[in-house]
C-alpha cells in the first residue's frame, strides 16, 4: 500500500521484498479468507488498540475502512461484510487481496525487487540518503519507508529486521512480545479434551486471582492448551503477566446464558425429569461428551449415582463448575504461532500526521513494525493499510519529481 500510494502520487518507487513475492503474510490472513478491515466507527476502532490507539486517529482521518473498501472495489476486488462488521473479499480468498494489490502496484510503475532484503539504511546529518541490500547494493533514495512487519510467522518474511534498522539510527524499540497467541495449559492438561471446540461460551482471564478480561464466543482445545478466537483475544492481556511470573488462569463459563439461579433451576428440572438416570448420562444433557470425564473428576460425584440421589451440595458443586471451569495457564506459544507482535518502534518518535521519523528526515514507518497491536476482527490490517497509505503519500512529497 505504501509503495503503491507513493508511486500514485508521482514518486519514483522501488519496492524491496525479502521473499519471492510481496505479501506472503497477507495471503494466509483470516484462515485464508483475509479479514481486511472492520466497519466499526473510528472511536470504537481505536479502542481495539488499547492505549496506543489514539496515535492512529490522524491516519484514520485520511484513509479509513470505507476508503479501503472503496479502494479495493476500484481495483477490482469485491468485498462483503460479515458478523461483527468484519470485511472479507467476496471470493473468500486472501490470495485475491494480495494479487489485486500486486497488480495495482505494478500498474503504478513500482519497480519490485524480490528476494532482496534491506540490510542497512544510510543517513547523512539526520537525513536519509538511501539503503543497502543484503547483496551490498546501495540504493540512493530521498525517502525510505520501513514496512517490514514484526516477528510473528517468520516464514512469511517478518523476522524483526525493521527493529534493527530503526535502532541503528537511534530509534527506541518498545520491548516486543507475541500477541493474539494460543495459550499453554501445562502438564496437567487433560489430553482427552484435544480437538474439542466450544461455541457460545464466555471465558475470563484471571491474573493473580483478579479478573482482567472477558470474551464471549468460540474456543478450542489443542494438544498443548487453548486456541480459538476468544483465547487469542484474551492472550493480549495474558502474555505480559505470564512473562512476569504472575499466576494466570482462564475460567470458562459453559452456561453463560444462565445465571446461577436459572442454572440451578435447570439442573433441578433435569434431575426431576431423569431421576433414575446415572449422573454420567445426565451430564450428556448438559455438556459435550469430551468434557464429561473432566467434569466428573472435578465435581467428584460418583458416575453411577442416580440423578435423584444427587445431594444439594453435589448439585452446587456441579453448578459452580459449569460456571467456572478453570484452567491454569502455564505459558504461551512462540512468535511463530502469534498473529501479531506487540511492542515495536516507539510511537513517541513518529509523527502521526505523516508517519515520518522525528529523528531522521525522510525515514518513514508503517504497519506492524510500529508499537501497535490490535484485536482480531480486521483491525490490524486496517492499521497496516492506513499507516501504509499515509507513509506512502507523505514520502512521495520528498521526491522532487512527484
Ligand X SMILES: Cc1cc2nc3c(=O)[nH]c(=O)nc-3n(C[C@H](O)[C@H](O)[C@H](O)COP(=O)(O)OP(=O)(O)OC[C@H]3O[C@@H](n4cnc5c(N)ncnc54)[C@H](O)[C@@H]3O)c2cc1C
By CB under 6 A, the residues from 214 to 243 that bind ligand X are none
- At CB < 8 A and 24+ separation, what contacts does 125-134 make? 126/359, 126/360, 126/361, 127/360, 127/361, 127/362, 128/360, 128/361, 128/362, 128/363, 131/16, 133/16
Residue 383 has φ and ψ, to the nearest 5°, of: -60, -45
Shortest Å distance, C-beta 359 to ligand X: 19
Q: Which stretch binds ligand X (CB under 6 A): 12-20, 186-194, 290-298, 347-355?
A: 12-20
Which residue in the shown chain puts its C-beta closest to ligand X?
Answer: 157
# of chain residues touching ligand X (CB under 6 A): 34
Cell of residue 303, nine digits? 458416575
Q: How far apart are CA 89 and CA 103, in angstroms?
A: 16
Is 333 an interacting residue with respect to ligand X (CB under 6 A)? no
Q: Which stretch binds ligand X (CB under 6 A): 11-19, 242-250, 291-299, 311-319?
A: 11-19
366 and 150 in contact (C-beta within 8 Å)?
no
Binding-site member from 4, 30, 89, 182 for ligand X (CB under 6 A): 30
298 and 287 in contact (C-beta within 8 Å)?
no
By CB under 6 A, the residues from 32 to 51 that bind ligand X are 34-35
Choose between 131 and 193: whose C-beta lies nearer to ligand X: 131
Binding-site member from 151, 339, 342, 372 for ligand X (CB under 6 A): 339
Q: How far apart are CA 63 and CA 327, in angstroms?
A: 42
The kind and range of the H/E element at 24 are none
* Nearest alpha-carbon partner for 363 in 173, 165, 132: 165
Q: At what angle do helices 312-323 and 292-299 cross, to 10 degrees?
A: 130
Q: 3-state DSSP call for residue 97? A: helix
Q: How far apart are CA 296 and CA 278, in angstroms?
A: 12
Cell of residue 47, nine digits? 479502542
Q: What is the contact mask toward ligand X in residues 131 to 170, using x (rule: CB under 6 A)?
A: ----------------xxx--xx--xxx--x---------
Cell of residue 9, nine digits? 502520487
Binding-site member from 18, 48, 315, 323 for ligand X (CB under 6 A): 18
Shortest Å distance, C-beta 238 to ligand X: 18
By CB under 6 A, the residues from 99 to 118 that bind ligand X are 117-118
Q: Which stretch binds ligand X (CB under 6 A): 200-208, 251-259, 287-295, 365-373?
A: 365-373
Choose between 130 and 367: whose C-beta lies nearer to ligand X: 367
Binding-site member from 25, 48, 323, 393 for ligand X (CB under 6 A): 25
Binding-site member from 381, 391, 396, 398 for ligand X (CB under 6 A): 381
13 and 1 in contact (C-beta within 8 Å)?
no
Choose between 116 and 185: whose C-beta lies nearer to ligand X: 116
200 and 217 in contact (C-beta within 8 Å)?
yes
166 and 145 in contact (C-beta within 8 Å)?
no
Is 27 an interacting residue with respect to ligand X (CB under 6 A)? no
Shortest Å distance, C-beta 250 to ligand X: 22
Binding-site member from 367, 372, 389, 390 for ligand X (CB under 6 A): 367
Q: Which residues bind ligand X (CB under 6 A)?
A: 16-19, 22, 24-26, 28-30, 34-35, 117-118, 147-149, 152-153, 156-158, 161, 339-340, 367-369, 378-381, 384
Amino acid at each position: 500500500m505504501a509503495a503503491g500510494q507513493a508511486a500514485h502520487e508521482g514518486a519514483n518507487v522501488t519496492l524491496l521484498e525479502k521473499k519471492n513475492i510481496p505479501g506472503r503474510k497477507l495471503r494466509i490472513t483470516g484462515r485464508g479468507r483475509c479479514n481486511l478491515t472492520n466497519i466499526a466507527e473510528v472511536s470504537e476502532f481505536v479502542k481495539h488498540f488499547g492505549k496506543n490507539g489514539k496515535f492512529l486517529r490522524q491516519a484514520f482521518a485520511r484513509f479509513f475502512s470505507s476508503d479501503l473498501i472503496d479502494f479495493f472495489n476500484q481495483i477490482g476486488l469485491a468485498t462483503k461484510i460479515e458478523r461483527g462488521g468484519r470485511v472479507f473479499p467476496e471470493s473468500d480468498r486472501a490470495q485475491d487481496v494480495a494479487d489485486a494489490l500486486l497488480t495495482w502496484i505494478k500498474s503504478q510503475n513500482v519497480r519490485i525487487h524480490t528476494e532482496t532484503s534491506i540490510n542497512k539504511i544510510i543517513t547523512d546529518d539526520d537525513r536519509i540518503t538511501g539503503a543497502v541490500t543484503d547483496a551490498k547494493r546501495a540504493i540512493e533514495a530521498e525517502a525510505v519507508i520501513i514496512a517490514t512487519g514484526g516477528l510473528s510467522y517468520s516464514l512469511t518474511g517478518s523476522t524483526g529486521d525493521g527493529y534493527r534498522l530503526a535502532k541503528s539510527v537511534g530509534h527506541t524499540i518498545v520491548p516486543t512480545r507475541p500477541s493474539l497467541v494460543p495459550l499453554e495449559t501445562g502438564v496437567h492438561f487433560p489430553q482427552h479434551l484435544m480437538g474439542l471446540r466450544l461455541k457460545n461460551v464466555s471465558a475470563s482471564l484471571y491474573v493473580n486471582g483478579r479478573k482482567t478480561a472477558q470474551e464471549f464466543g468460540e474456543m478450542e482445545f489443542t494438544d498443548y492448551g487453548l486456541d480459538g478466537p476468544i483465547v487469542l483475544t484474551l492472550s493480549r492481556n495474558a502474555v505480559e503477566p505470564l512473562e512476569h511470573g504472575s499466576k494466570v488462569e482462564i475460567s470458562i463459563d459453559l452456561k453463560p446464558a444462565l445465571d446461577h439461579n436459572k442454572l440451578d433451576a435447570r439442573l433441578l428440572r433435569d434431575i426431576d425429569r431423569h431421576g433414575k438416570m446415572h449422573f454420567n448420562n445426565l451430564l450428556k444433557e448438559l455438556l459435550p461428551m469430551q468434557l464429561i470425564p473432566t467434569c466428573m473428576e472435578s465435581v467428584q460425584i460418583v458416575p453411577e449415582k442416580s440423578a435423584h440421589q444427587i445431594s444439594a451440595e453435589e448439585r452446587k458443586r456441579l453448578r459452580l463448575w459449569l460456571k467456572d471451569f478453570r484452567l491454569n495457564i502455564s505459558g504461551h506459544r512462540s512468535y511463530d504461532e502469534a498473529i501479531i507482535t506487540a511492542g515495536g518502534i516507539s510511537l513517541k518518535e513518529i509523527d502521526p500526521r505523516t508517519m515520518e521519523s522525528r529523528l531522521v528526515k525522510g525515514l518513514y514507518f508503517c504497519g506492524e513494525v510500529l508499537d501497535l497491536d490490535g484485536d482480531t476482527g480486521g483491525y490490524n490490517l486496517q492499521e497496516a493499510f492506513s499507516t501504509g497509505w499515509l507513509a506512502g503519500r507523505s514520502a512521495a512529497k520528498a521526491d522532487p519529481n512527484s
